Amino acid sequence: MVDQAIILTIVLALVCVLIFTRISPVRAFAGSLVACYLLGFVHTETVLAKGANEGVITLVLLLLVSVGLERLPWLVTLSERMLSPSVTRSLLGLSLTTAMFSAFINNTAVVATLASSIRKNKVLSPSRLLLPLSYAAILGGTLTLIGTSTNLIVSSFVQDKTGAPIPFLAFFPVALPALLVGVLTMLLFSWRLPTRSDADDVVNDYLVEAEVQENSPMIGATVEENGLRDLGDLFLVEIVRQQHLITPISPTQRIVAGDKLIFSGDVSRVALLERFQGLKIFALEEGLLRSNMTEVVVRPNAAITGTTLKEASFRSRFDAAVVGIKRDGERLSGKLGNIVIQPGDFLMLATGPDFSQRQNLTRNFLLVNTEVTGRSISNLKSGGFTLLIGVVFALAATGLLDLIKGLCLTLALLLLTGVVNTTELRRRFPWELWLIITSALCLAQAVSDTGAIDALMTSVAPGLTQMPPLALLVVIYLMTLAMTELMTNNAAAALMFPLAWGAGAAAGLDPIPFVMAVAFGASASFLTAHGYTTNLIVQNIGGYQKEDYLRFGVPVSIAYSVTVLVVLPKVFPFV
């Protein structure tokens, strides 16, 4: 009883940490694993076995193969041809294309690749396209075993329980109707999408800081006399003077030594500030502003979240300097260096020559400028690689080839042909996801070994046995959906699987329908930016605010959920 109470306390603490704190999921799950290991609930052999679980290794291999898949030119080419002046036609073509690719390529990579080109299009406002792009990637990712990490996580748990993974196309009969209904709903409610351009809302522009030096000839002159009101796409919005914030700025406001001048607007025009003598921008001082300018999005679990820009030490960590920062509709204020970095922040970096070689880039950022870390491949290699991966996935879908063997073969050929190299694979290795899944598998084993899950199920078994199977399925799905929006999809899937499996078994039913409900519920993140990484990518590119996700996402979430809950029991019967 004591062991059961302790292990359930660890699980409850983990859930509270994930929901109510800013501690990253990888640290929370790793802390739970360490606690179980030190208390003797998990042994060394168990940790090693779970870390080498076939489903976990398959997920890792797939993400590494995706490094090569991201360089295929077909994705961008096809998507660009789908754009037309008609919003309906563009949304339909772009959504179906994105969903098709997301079924076989990591959907985060698909959205990251397309978002930049969509933003540059001259046909439609990006804000009319980017949120549907993210939702289509989420919907498409549910079609196959490899389309989203969530499906692979659930499959890893199933394989750990039964010895066999979920079949490659097992999700397809449920996911296809959900995809079609989801796309139709997006078309019907496309009028709720905002129409924004770069000039519409200065709040969504980058915040740039420059400091007036002691010897500057600007000192003593007014803002207007210094020409600070005639910078085109850059606007002086604030002056930070010691501990005081001056805003709005009067044309007659005089400049004082040490003033921090805060500009907002087109960050690509920041070099205009070079003409002012005695005005210091860090990137200019370091000689980086004349190098590459790169946009990045801060990942949800980045090591730099919670630190200020000054504390993050960008030059030593990344060989880069922060030129500007922007956040989802929130007006940032004050000294740039004192702004605390949050997940989803967009940073404009002036990068040095060593930037693209740093090992920690993809662990902290999603790069909007994908050419920084990747390079396109020739048409010959691209065609051969497309054929190879198509054959591998077809053989895996028909059961003629183990997926893990096919991925090993593909990865070996990628290395031999030079499409990827060992440095890139080392940088892109998904250490955090591997640790989350390993920790979750060990935690589930500890819960099972101590009898905690049996005790919990026994205490609620009368309620489960009296509850209709469909009602139980709905409860598990909605619990998973709520946890996905409150934490992340992968964390929600890892936490809900033991409960879903135990609930199905305690009710005397086949656990698989409830496990599949976890998989589909964990992917149903349409209401917030932080529940799913693709939503986070498009947030600032499209200038979306929190209410945009609710206005457009609520009908999509309802339509998707109803479809899944109607079709799922027909494809996966309870008995």
Cα(528)–Cα(493) distance, integer angstroms: 17
Task: Give the pLDDT band (50/70/90) at residue 188.
Answer: very high
**Is the confidence at residue 115, as pLDDT, over 60?**
yes
- Beta partners for 338? none
The answer to whether residue 61 is domain-embedded is: no
The answer to whether residue 478 is domain-embedded is: no
Q: Which domain holds residue 269?
A: 202-372
Cα(533)–Cα(506) distance, integer angstroms: 34
Alpha-carbon dihedral of residues 405, 407, 409, 410, nearest 10 degrees?
Answer: 160
The answer to whether residue 73 is domain-embedded is: no
Cα(83)–Cα(8) distance, integer angstroms: 52
Report how far apart, in Å, the C-alpha atoms of 348 and of each of 150, 266, 312, 351 are: 31, 11, 15, 9
H helical segments located in 341-402: 361-364, 379-398
Domain tally, the chain: 1
**Is the confidence at residue 372, as pLDDT, over 50?**
no
Displacement of CA 240 from its chain's centroid (Å): 34
**Is the confidence at residue 374, as pLDDT, over 80?**
no
The answer to whether residue 494 is domain-embedded is: no
The answer to whether residue 398 is domain-embedded is: no
Q: Which two tokens stand for residue 286?
A: 């370091």
Q: Which two tokens stand for residue 510?
A: 């086949």
pLDDT, one tens digit per residue, over 325-368 is 877 655 566 667 778 888 778 888 877 777 877 777 777 887 76
Instruction: Assign residue 236 the CATH number of its domain.
Output: 3.30.70.1450
Q: If DSSP states are collapsed to H, E and C, what string results for 46-69? A: HHHHHHCCHHHHHHHHHHHHHHHH
**Is the confidence at residue 48, as pLDDT, over 80?**
yes
Q: Hey, what amino acid is at 5?
A: A
Q: Is the peptide bond before 248 cis (omega within 30 degrees of 0)?
A: yes
3-state secondary structure of 346: strand
The answer to whether residue 326 is domain-embedded is: yes
Task: Give the pLDDT band (50/70/90) at residue 404.
Answer: confident
**Count, residues in the chain:** 575
For the entire predicted model, the pTM comes to 0.76
Phi and psi angles of residue 271, each rounded to the nearest 5 degrees, phi first = -65, -15
Task: Give the pLDDT band (50/70/90) at residue 379.
Answer: low
**Per-chain mean pLDDT for the chain:** 82
Cα(29)–Cα(38) distance, integer angstroms: 14
Cα(491)–Cα(488) distance, integer angstroms: 5
DSSP state, 222?
B
The answer to whether residue 211 is domain-embedded is: yes
pLDDT, one tens digit per residue, over 263-322 is 877 666 676 777 788 888 766 555 555 556 777 888 766 778 888 877 888 878 888 878
Cα(151)–Cα(145) distance, integer angstroms: 6
The answer to whether residue 27 is domain-embedded is: no
